[in-house]
Amino acid sequence: MQIEAVRGDITTQDVDAVVNAANSSLLGGGGVDGAIHAAAGPRLLEACREVRRTTYPDGLPVGDAVVTPGFDLPARWVVHTVGPNWNRGQRETADLASCFTRSLERAVEVGAASIAFPAVSAGAYGWDADEVARIGVAAARAWQGSTERPDEDGHTHPSGIALVRFVLFSAPLLDAFERAL
Ligand code: AR6
């Protein structure tokens, strides 16, 4: 499995799944969430409303992830995750690591082979860029270490993820991820 960091806009990435740094409501917001909803079109918000109606009526918990189609995006899937909000005292590194790990799990469930992550929690949610980079890269590497995953019946099968790409919006963020890599 390849792990890389590039500077760019996640909405234009030619990967199977892009990860959205959403909030628990799943009903949109600013930052990368706003950009993904704008690029995917209004059907994405409808799909998110459906997820709220059916699966997460109280909202998606911090550290968890859920998949919708990508609609007008080049990516076939959007994996929505909710990072911890440092500014509100959510400072558990395990919660942020869980965003990356759960997103990889969800992507595998729908058969994605490539996935792009933004710097979850490094914007409005106020986490330090180097901390996000360290946690994101460690989670991807730990996942790489378990590409043979047992299912409920004890059979093992490959994870299917061949590429993890961190897509960073700014030069300082890219620097942070390059240091972590
Ligand atoms: N492509 C890649 N990265 C981007 C893009 C883009 N198009 N746009 C912004 N970023 P944030 P959070 C970067 O605030 O901290 C939303 O309102 C951005 O520079 O998007 O997890 C949600 O609805 C930053 O480095 O996510 C939540 O309420 C990184 O993406 C809240 O913000 C993450 O910044 C989530 O906050």
> Would you write out the chain's pLDDT as a tens digit for each of its 181 residues?
999 999 999 999 999 999 999 999 999 999 999 999 999 999 999 999 999 999 999 999 999 999 999 999 999 999 999 999 999 999 999 999 999 999 999 999 999 999 999 999 999 999 999 999 999 999 999 997 555 555 667 665 566 899 999 999 999 999 999 999 9
> What is the reported pTM?
0.94
Pocket probe mutation, ligand 1, options 32, 73, 174, 177, max atoms within 8 Å of Cβ: 32
**Identity of residue 90:** Q
> Which atom of ligand 1 is closest in space to residue 28's alpha carbon?
23
Pocket flag, ligand 1, residue 113 (CB < 6 Å):
no
Distance 126 CA to ligand 1 centre (A): 10
What burial class does residue 53 get, using C-beta atoms within 10 Å of its C-beta: 0-12 exposed, 13-18 middle, 19+ buried?
Answer: exposed
Cα atoms found within 13 Å of the Cα of residue 98, Cβ hemisphere only: 14
